[in-house]
Structure 1
Amino acid sequence: MIKFLKTNFELIFWVAAIIALAVANSAIESQYTLCPLKLMGITWCPGCGIGHAISWLLHGDIVRSWHAHWLGVPALLIIGYRIFVLGRCLFVPKQEYKFD
């Protein structure tokens, strides 16, 4: 079990993050932050709002997602592609998707 968790940590992390953002209520103002810039007292951060943007997008509200952070759509697409690639590596033997 530990070996499975170690070898598939990134896949588990991204799936858990997407699930957490999908069930989160983005309308509630956050009481905590993981942003190192905000923790240092800097009020502007280029990444702040991207979690809200992805959450709004997963709830189907594209306009609020865009207003929260314009990189929400590309970020969700990139994370989705990464989950696809990691899942393919987990479930499909390497010989089946080799391009040689």
Structure 2
Amino acid sequence: MKILKRLPFELIVWIMALVLLGMTDVHDHGSEPHFTLCPLANMGFTWCPGCGVGRSIAHLLQGNFGASLEQHWFGIPALLIIGSRIVGLIKKNFITLKELGLKYKEERYV
């Protein structure tokens, strides 16, 4: 439980975002009404440069590579960028936690 408290909030957010995207039931943008956070779509615009990236990542996580590319071409690079950020945060915090653990053991025996 102490390790969970020391994990950075950003790491938890990225992992939760990917888990939730992987569990999402993906709908096409114009197929049926759905909730969106996109300000341009909420103002009534039919095209947005970022719309579809989340759906593209969701398709990727569900193994639908063709559908992912149809939604947005940036889904694959976005998933790679987010994945590399998660790995970097894990490595950084593993090293920090390891150093803290060693310092704690050294202080305890002195």
1:84 equivalent among 81, 84, 87: 87
> Higher relative contact order at CA 8 Å, sep ≥6: structure 1 or structure 2?
2
Using the TM superposition, give the Cα deviation of residue 41 of structure 1 relative to its aligned residue in structure 2, in angstroms.
Answer: 2.3
1:54 aligns with 2:57: yes
- Give the match for residue 26 of structure 1: 26
TM normalised by structure 1 equals: 0.80
Q: List runs of 5+ in structure 2 lacking aligned partners.
A: 100-110
Deviation per residue, 1:59-96 (Å, 9 max, x gap)? 11100000000000000000000000111111123998
* RMSD between superposed Cα atoms in Å: 2.4
TM normalised by structure 2 equals: 0.74
Q: Which runs of 4+ in 1 moved over 3 A?
A: 27-30
Q: List runs of 5+ in structure 1 lacking aligned partners.
A: none
Q: How many residues align?
A: 93
Deviation per residue, 1:37-77 (Å, 9 max, x gap)? 11222221100011110011111110000000000000000
- Structure whose alpha-carbon radius of gyration is higher: 2
- Give the match for residue 17 of structure 2: 17
Identity of aligned residues (%): 46
